[in-house]
Amino acid sequence: MSQTLQVVAAGDHFVLPDLIARAVADEVGEHPVNVSELRLGWPLEPFGPVAEVTEASDAEDELIEALAGAEVLITQMGPVTERVLAAAPDLRLVVVCRGGPVNVNLDAAKAHDVRVCFAPGRNAAATAEFTVGLLLAALRRIPQAHDLLARQGSWEGATYYTYEHSGLELEDLPVGLVGYGAVGSRVARVLCAFGAQVMVYDPYVRGEIHGLRVTSLDELLARSRVITLHARLTPETRGLIGARELALLPSGAVVVNVARGPLLDEDALCDALESGRLSAAALDTYAREPLPAGARLTAPPLAERVVLTPHLGGASRAVAEKAAAIAAAEVGRWVRGEPLANCLT
Active site residues: 260, 289, 311
Q: For the purposes of burial, counting CB atoms within 10 Å of the CB of 206, is it exposed (0-12), middle (13-18) or buried (19 or more)?
A: exposed
Q: For the purposes of burial, counting CB atoms within 10 Å of the CB of 251, is it exposed (0-12), middle (13-18) or buried (19 or more)?
A: exposed
How many other C-beta atoms are found inside a 10 Å radius of the C-beta of residue 298? Answer: 13
Contact 284, 258 (CB under 8 A): yes
Contact 70, 94 (CB under 8 A): no
How many other C-beta atoms are found inside a 10 Å radius of the C-beta of residue 237? Answer: 17
Contact 270, 294 (CB under 8 A): no
Q: In angstroms, what CA-CA distances link 302 with 101, 223, 261, 268, 271? A: 35, 25, 18, 13, 10
Long-range contacts of 162-168 (CB under 8 A, 24+ apart): 165/141, 167/139, 167/140, 167/141, 168/139, 168/140, 168/225, 168/226, 168/254
User: In angstroms, how far is the first alpha carbon of the chain from the final one?
Assistant: 18
What is the edge-to-edge ordering of all strands in the sheet holding 33-39? 33-39, 5-11, 72-75, 93-96, 115-117
Beta strands 226-229; 212-213: pairing state: unpaired
